[in-house]
A and B are shown apart, each in its own frame.
Chain A
Amino acid sequence: MQVRYENINKKFGNVHVLKNLHLTVNDGEFLVLLGPSGCGKSTALRMLAGLENPTSGEIYIGGQPVTDMDPKDRDISMVFQSYALYPHMSVFENITYPLKIRKVPKAERKKKADDIAEILEIGDLLKRKPKELSGGQRQRVALGRSLIRQPNVFLMDEPLSNLDAKLRVHMRGEIKRLHSELGITSVYVTHDQTEAMTMADRIAIMEGGHLQQLASPDEIYHQPANRYVGGFIGSPAMNSVKGRLNVKTASLDFGTFTIPIDQEWQEILEKRLSGQDIYLGIRPENVRVATKPAENSIKGEVYVVEPLGKEVITIIRAGGHTIVAIVEPDLPLKMNQKVWLTFDEQKLHMFDGKTEEKVV
């Protein structure tokens, strides 16, 4: 079912948490809400569930306005960030409570619980109470309670945050599989970008109560809408260097060095005035490092070398700027060594110096 936030504002007292949120989740889509802590992800989710009322605006589920509808009538299942398990019920009772409410016969409840418990690897915990479980186990019980039925919309608020790395990768796969089998519209909150990139049909990046960009993982990565998104997605983060546009020489002036602008960019930039500030964004993997000078290369000095095995993260100081590059491990770099950098012209991003929006 399609979900639509229309011009949603949410204030807690005078804290303005969500600002003019417009967001449409398509029928059957797996949408990931990604953003830093405190940006309003949980609030957006809880409003869809009906646990918070928007201060203004309207939410639609399947084309119907639901803002005044009780949570129980929305037929939504949710994994809470805090798990919200029933403390007095066993794991089995917790997981099957939604079915009990729907008067599903006991035998069928048992079968479904066994199935879901096997997927979540909690089969041996069914008789325990929540307080006898570890954080990660509780989280999987919460996930189980949500996945046991087929609602209109699945909401998951950081459902894997407490699992170890291995289990997290495994559960990620299971959730994705379940989603493609059931095809139920899902909204998934996380602040883990790997999770977002691997699971999402589309990612909505939020920051400071604003929706920054809504696009496929690929588009988010390759065409970030603004400097914030560029810097938020990708690890290590995108380099962004503030320079000044010089239309006459068709270059960006960074004080200690200049970079000529590609033909493609020139047309876009011609509309702009000389002297305007521009942020140049370049991902670390698109910075080439050489030990000898080449045409248009920038001279710098190695500041820190961080080997990761399959690649080496190198932090380089060049003309008063700090630039991070990923280099092959077979390139022998030492601290304080002189190096020359070139940027892959196809992979440059430019953001307006004031609005920080992508230059188009």
Chain B
Amino acid sequence: MSKESLADTSTSSSVQLRNNKNKRFFKKNLLPYWLLLPTISILAVLTIFPLAYSIYVSFQRFNTFGEAVGFHGVNNYADVISSITFWNSLGITLLYTAGVVAVEMVLGLALALMVSKENKVMSYLRWILIIPMMLSPLVVGIVFRLMLNADFGIVNYMLTSIGLPAVDFLGNSLTAFLSIMLVDVWQWTPMCFLIALAGLQSLPQDPYEAARLDGASKWQILRDITIPLLKPVLIVALVIRTMDALRMFDQVFVLTQGGPGRATEVISFLMYRAAMRFSDFGFATAGLFMVLVVTILLSLIMIKLLNRTEKTGGY
């Protein structure tokens, strides 16, 4: 074979190689999008469209029959911001969220620490503790409404039978507010518990042994080892519970209907009423978008906190 023909074949084969490469490049790079297509279409129908539509709705004016009668600009948002009931509800919602999330986190962690030891009793206890989470929120609300009923509820029965005065739990501003918080704590502490327990059981054991030898007491081990190591997991629970509590609706719907007065009128319920009673869908969606903004801001702060602990070496 001459030198020239040898050179020829080598160039032609390198061209072919480049063509093949290009083909493979496109195939390789388009494939992921093809695979994503079904998911994206489902998302588009179920999430993106309703979301986009509700943004559209929040800029519309509605008449008293609930019919959209034209573009309303940012007036709905302006109405929300200038409405006293909105700020009242936002305050109640934030107070409620802060209260229940704090109590649930502390209780959940405490319970997890208590039952994290491996033995038979504890493993049954763990099952029992997560039952409330499995129930429908509406059912839970109804059960509590019966138990807290001023006239024939079991709580008042027990109070009076030991000589204490009966309390009109749902008829009094403060006790009504505490009652819906109690229901939330009862139902959602198990979730914080479960997340904390999973976190606890995946922690490395050596640092505990080292700390015991270094002379740390149980309390110091909890403060210096367990909580810092558990922080990323706890923040996840915190974010989930906060997002959930900010949009809480069921308890208020079943137990108090926002009352007495407006004492328990959380944002979701306020906006539900605006939409369902007064057919003001524009006002309701605008209000809910403002809650969404609050939720996103709070979540971002917490996620930032999480990233910081990760960067500085959380476990």
**A interface with B by C-beta (< 8 Å):** 49-51, 70-72, 75-78, 80, 82-90, 97-98, 101-102, 129-132, 145
Q: B147: CB under 8 A from chain A?
A: no
Whether the Cβ atoms of B209 and A72 lie closer than 8 Å is no
Whether the Cβ atoms of A101 and B215 lie closer than 8 Å is yes
Query: A88: which B residues are within 8 A, CB to CB?
Result: 228-229, 231, 309, 312-315
Chain B interface, DSSP helix/strand/loop, else mixed: helix
Q: Hey, what's the 0/1 contact readout for B278-296 against A, CB within 8 Å counting as 1?
A: 0000000000000000000
Bound complex: CA of A71 vs CA of B314, how far in Å?
26
Query: B312: which A residues are within 8 A, CB to CB?
Result: 88, 129
Q: List 15 A-B contacts (CB under 8 A).
A: A49-B213, A50-B212, A71-B213, A72-B214, A72-B215, A76-B213, A84-B206, A86-B210, A87-B207, A87-B314, A88-B309, A97-B211, A97-B216, A130-B313, A132-B313
Interface-side segment among B61-69, B174-182, B217-225, B297-305: B217-225
Q: Please pick, from A75, A87, A101, A145, the residue contacting B216 in the complex, using a CB distance under 8 A.
A: A101
In the complex, the 4 A-B pairs of residues with the closest C-beta atoms, listed nearest first? A129-B313, A84-B206, A84-B210, A98-B214
List 13 additional A-B contacts (Cβ < 8 Å) besides A71-B209, A102-B215: A50-B213, A51-B212, A71-B212, A72-B214, A84-B207, A84-B210, A86-B210, A87-B313, A87-B315, A88-B231, A90-B313, A101-B220, A132-B313
Bound complex: CA of A82 vs CA of B314, how far in Å?
19
Q: Please pick, from B213, B216, B314, the residue contacting A78 in the complex, using a CB distance under 8 A.
A: B213
Bound complex: CA of A82 vs CA of B210, how far in Å?
10
Whether the Cβ atoms of B213 and A77 lie closer than 8 Å is yes
Q: B163: CB under 8 A from chain A?
A: no
Query: B206: which A residues are within 8 A, CB to CB?
Result: 80, 82-84
Say how far B100's CB is from chain A's closest CB, in angstroms: 28
Query: B32: which A residues are within 8 A, CB to CB?
Result: none
Say how far A291's CB is from chain B's closest CB, in angstroms: 58
For A87, give the chain B residue with the smallest CB separation: B315
- Of the four ranges (under 10, 10 to 19, 20 to 34, 35 or more), the interface on chain B belongs to 20 to 34
Query: A90: which B residues are within 8 A, CB to CB?
Result: 313
Bound complex: CA of A132 vs CA of B312, how far in Å?
10
Query: A132: which B residues are within 8 A, CB to CB?
Result: 313
For A46, give the chain B residue with the smallest CB separation: B209
For A76, give the chain B residue with the smallest CB separation: B213
For B214, give the chain A residue with the smallest CB separation: A98
**B interface with A by C-beta (< 8 Å):** 204, 206-207, 209-217, 220, 224-225, 228-229, 231, 309, 312-315
Bound complex: CA of A80 vs CA of B206, how far in Å?
9
Query: A77: which B residues are within 8 A, CB to CB?
Result: 213-214
Bound complex: CA of A85 vs CA of B313, how far in Å?
12
For B210, give the chain A residue with the smallest CB separation: A84
Whether the Cβ atoms of A85 and B210 lie closer than 8 Å is yes
Query: A80: which B residues are within 8 A, CB to CB?
Result: 206, 209-210
For B314, give the chain A residue with the smallest CB separation: A88
Bound complex: CA of A48 vs CA of B314, how far in Å?
31
Query: B211: which A residues are within 8 A, CB to CB?
Result: 86, 97
Bound complex: CA of A72 vs CA of B229, how far in Å?
21
Q: Please pick, from B209, B215, B220, B313, the residue contacting A84 in the complex, using a CB distance under 8 A.
A: B209
Query: A131: which B residues are within 8 A, CB to CB?
Result: 313
For B205, give the chain A residue with the smallest CB separation: A84
For B315, give the chain A residue with the smallest CB separation: A87
Given A80-B206, A101-B220: A87 and B213 within 8 A (CB)? Answer: no
Query: B231: which A residues are within 8 A, CB to CB?
Result: 88
Q: Please pick, from A72, A85, A145, the residue contacting B212 in the complex, using a CB distance under 8 A.
A: A72
Query: B217: which A residues are within 8 A, CB to CB?
Result: 72
Query: B224: which A residues are within 8 A, CB to CB?
Result: 86, 97
Say how far A1's CB is from chain B's closest CB, in angstroms: 16
Say how far A87's CB is from chain B's closest CB, in angstroms: 5
Query: A101: which B residues are within 8 A, CB to CB?
Result: 214-216, 220
Bound complex: CA of A71 vs CA of B212, how far in Å?
6
Query: B225: which A residues are within 8 A, CB to CB?
Result: 86
Say how far A339's CB is from chain B's closest CB, in angstroms: 54
Say how far A119's CB is from chain B's closest CB, in angstroms: 19
Query: B220: which A residues are within 8 A, CB to CB?
Result: 101
Say how far A83's CB is from chain B's closest CB, in angstroms: 8
Query: B209: which A residues are within 8 A, CB to CB?
Result: 51, 71, 80, 84
For A98, give the chain B residue with the smallest CB separation: B214
Bound complex: CA of A84 vs CA of B216, how far in Å?
15
Counting chain B CB atoms within 10 Å of each CB, the highest count among A51, A76, A77, A131 belongs to: A51
Bound complex: CA of A145 vs CA of B216, how far in Å?
14
Say how far A259's CB is from chain B's closest CB, in angstroms: 53
Whether the Cβ atoms of B314 and A98 lie closer than 8 Å is no
Bound complex: CA of A133 vs CA of B309, how far in Å?
18
Bound complex: CA of A145 vs CA of B207, how far in Å?
12
Say how far A106's CB is from chain B's closest CB, in angstroms: 16
Say how far B204's CB is from chain A's closest CB, in angstroms: 7
Query: A86: which B residues are within 8 A, CB to CB?
Result: 207, 210-211, 224-225
Query: B314: which A residues are within 8 A, CB to CB?
Result: 87-88
